[in-house]
Chains A and B, each alone.
Chain A
Amino acid sequence: MSSAARSNRQLVTRLVIMATCMFGFGFLLVPIYDVMCEITGIGGRTSDTVAVIPAGMQADTGRTITVEFVAVVNEQAPWEFRPAVTSMEIHPGQLYDTTFYARNLANRELVGQAIPSVAPGTAAKHFQKTECFCFTAQKFLALEGRDMGVQFMVDPKLPGYVDRITLSYTFFVQRQQTSQPAVVASTI
Chain B
Amino acid sequence: MTTITQGHAAQDHAHDSHGPARGLSRWLFTTNHKDIGTLYLLFALVMLFVGGGMALVIRAELFQPGLQFVNPEFFNQMTTMHALIMVFGMIMPAFVGFANWMIPMMIGAPDMALPRLNNWSFWILPFAGTILLSTLFMDGGGPAAGWTLYPPLVLQSGNSLAFAIFAVHLLGMSSILGAINIIVTVMNMRAPGMTLLKMPMFVWTWLITAYLLILVMPVLAGGVTMLLTDRFFGTSFFQAAGGGDPVLFQHIFWFFGHPEVYIIILPSFGIISQIIPTFSRKPLFGYSSMVYATAGIAFLSCIVWAHHMFTVGMPLAGQMFFMMSTMLIAIPTAVKVFNWTATMWRGSLSFETPMLFAIAFLFLFSIGGFSGVMMAIAPVDFQYHDTYFIVAHFHYVLVPGALFAAIGGAYFWLPKWTGHMYDETLGKIHFWLSAVGVNLTFFPQHFLGLAGMPRRIPDYATQFADWNAVSSVGAFLFGFSQLMFVYIVVKCIRGGKQATAQVWDNPEGLEWTVPSPAPYHTFDEAPLIK
Contact = CB atoms under 8 A, between A and B. Distances in A.
Contacts of B220: 26
Nearest to B219: A26
Interface of B: 73, 76, 113-114, 139-141, 144-145, 152-153, 155-161, 176, 179-180, 183-184, 187-188, 214-223, 226, 232, 234, 237, 240-242, 245, 247-248, 251-252, 255, 313-315, 318
B472 to A, nearest CB: 25
A121 B315 contact: yes
Contact of A29 (B232, B248, B314): B248
Interface range for A: 35 or more
A22 B157 contact: no
A11 B187 contact: yes
Closest 4 CB pairs of A and B: A26-B222, A185-B158, A172-B241, A185-B140
Contact of A22 (B152, B184, B188, B219): B219
A182 B152 CA distance: 14
A8 B73 contact: no
11 contacts: A8-B188, A19-B217, A20-B218, A29-B252, A33-B248, A40-B315, A121-B313, A183-B139, A185-B140, A185-B141, A186-B139
A47 interface: no
B192 to A, nearest CB: 13
A83 interface: no
Nearest to A76: B156
Interface stretch (A60-68, A99-107, A112-120): A112-120
Nearest to A44: B313
Contact of B114 (A12, A19, A185): A12
A188 B237 CA distance: 22
B252 A175 contact: no
Contacts of A182: 158-159
A18 interface: yes
A42 B315 contact: yes
A29 B254 CA distance: 12
Describe A's contact surface by its main secondary structure: helix
B219 A25 contact: yes
Nearest to A174: B241
Interface in A74-124: 74-75, 113, 115, 117, 119-122
Given A8-B188, A11-B184, A37-B245, A26 B158 contact: no
Describe B's contact surface by its main secondary structure: helix
- Of A7, A30, A122, A182, most buried by chain B (CB within 10 Å of CB) is A30
A120 B245 contact: no
B113 A8 contact: yes
Given A4-B188, A15-B214, A186 B141 contact: yes
Contacts of B152: 74-75
A7 B188 contact: yes
A56 interface: no
A142 B159 CA distance: 30
Contacts of A27: 222, 226
Contacts of A44: 313
A149 interface: no
A184 B179 CA distance: 38
Contacts of A37: 245
A30 B237 contact: yes
A186 B240 CA distance: 23
Contacts of B157: 185, 188
B214 A18 contact: yes
Given A186-B73, A186-B158, A29 B251 contact: yes
